[in-house]
Structure 1
Amino acid sequence: MWSGRSILAGAAALFMGALVGAEVGGFAELTAEAPAPADGPGGSLLLLPLLVCFGGPAALWGSLTVVLPVVWVARWASGRLTGRDAWWWVPVVAGVLVSVVVAVIGTVRHVGPGPLTLILLTGAVLLAGAALLARDAALHGGRLLRALGYGALAMVAVFGIGAAAFGAGLFTEYRPPKVDASRLAGDWTDGRGGTLRPAADGTARAEGLTDHEAAYEDDADADLAKYRCTGTGTWSYAPGDSTTWDQRVRLSIEACSFHEPYGLGDPEGWRITGTPEHPELNREYGDLDVPGWYTLTR
Structure 2
Amino acid sequence: MATGAVAVCVGTVLAFEVYGFAELAMDAPTPPDGPARALLVLPLLLCFGGPFAVLVTLLLTLPTVSAARWVSARTTGPDTWWWVPVVAVAAMSAVAAVVGAWWRPGAGASVLLWLTGAALLTGAALLARDAALRGRRLLRVLGYGALAAVAVAAIGGAAYATGAVTEYRPPKADAARLVGTWSDGHGGTLRLSADGTARAEGLRSDCTGVGTWSSEPDGPTAWDQLVLTEVTDCSFDWRISGTPEHPKLNHDYGEVDDPHWYTLTR
* Correspondence for 1:41: 35
Among residues 88, 112, 126, which one is paired with 1:94 in the alignment? 88
Bigger Rg, structure 1 or 2: 1
Equivalent-residue separation in structure 1 for 2:101 and 2:51 (angstroms): 30
2:45 matches 1:51:
yes
Equivalent-residue separation in structure 2 for 1:112 and 1:252 (angstroms): 33
* Correspondence for 2:240: 272
After TM superposition, give the deviation of residue 99 of structure 1 in Å.
2.0
Q: 1:107 to 1:43 in 2, by over 3 A?
A: closer
Q: 1:240 to 1:57 in 2, by over 3 A?
A: farther
2:258 matches 1:293:
no
* Correspondence for 1:244: 222
Equivalent-residue separation in structure 2 for 1:235 and 1:117 (angstroms): 39
2:203 matches 1:209:
yes
Among residues 230, 234, 249, which one is paired with 1:281 in the alignment? 249
Counterparts of 1:1-298 in structure 2, within 5 Å, are 7-211=1-205, 228-256=206-234, 258=235, 269-298=237-266
Query: Residue 170 of structure 1 aligns to a residue in which SS?
Result: coil
After TM superposition, give the deviation of residue 130 of structure 1 in Å.
0.9
Structure 2 residue runs of 5 or longer lacking an equivalent are none
After TM superposition, give the deviation of residue 119 of structure 1 in Å.
3.0
Amino acid in the other structure paired with 2:256: L
Query: Residue 31 of structure 1 aligns to a residue in which SS?
Result: coil
Amino acid in the other structure paired with 1:134: A
After TM superposition, give the deviation of residue 83 of structure 1 in Å.
4.3
Residues paired across the two proteins, number: 266
After TM superposition, give the deviation of residue 110 of structure 1 in Å.
4.5
Equivalent-residue separation in structure 2 for 1:73 and 1:181 (angstroms): 61
After TM superposition, give the deviation of residue 107 of structure 1 in Å.
4.3
Amino acid in the other structure paired with 1:274: G
Q: 1:209 to 1:113 in 2, by over 3 A?
A: closer
Equivalent-residue separation in structure 2 for 1:206 and 1:117 (angstroms): 36
After TM superposition, give the deviation of residue 113 of structure 1 in Å.
4.5
Please identify runs of 4+ aligned residues in structure 1 that moved more than 6 A: none
Structure 1 residue runs of 5 or longer lacking an equivalent are 1-6, 212-227, 264-268
Contact conserved, 2:216 with 2:226, CA < 8 A, in 1? yes
Amino acid in the other structure paired with 2:66: W
Contact conserved, 2:21 with 2:35, CA < 8 A, in 1? yes
Query: Residue 187 of structure 1 aligns to a residue in which SS?
Result: strand
Amino acid in the other structure paired with 1:102: A
Contact conserved, 2:18 with 2:152, CA < 8 A, in 1? yes
Q: Deviations over 1:40-87 (max 9, x none)?
A: 011221331122212222112111221111111222222233442222
Equivalent-residue separation in structure 1 for 2:254 and 2:78 (angstroms): 57
Query: TM-score, structure 1 length as denominator?
Result: 0.84
Query: TM-score, structure 2 length as denominator?
Result: 0.93
After TM superposition, give the deviation of residue 143 of structure 1 in Å.
0.7
State the identity as a percent: 60
After TM superposition, give the deviation of residue 111 of structure 1 in Å.
4.9
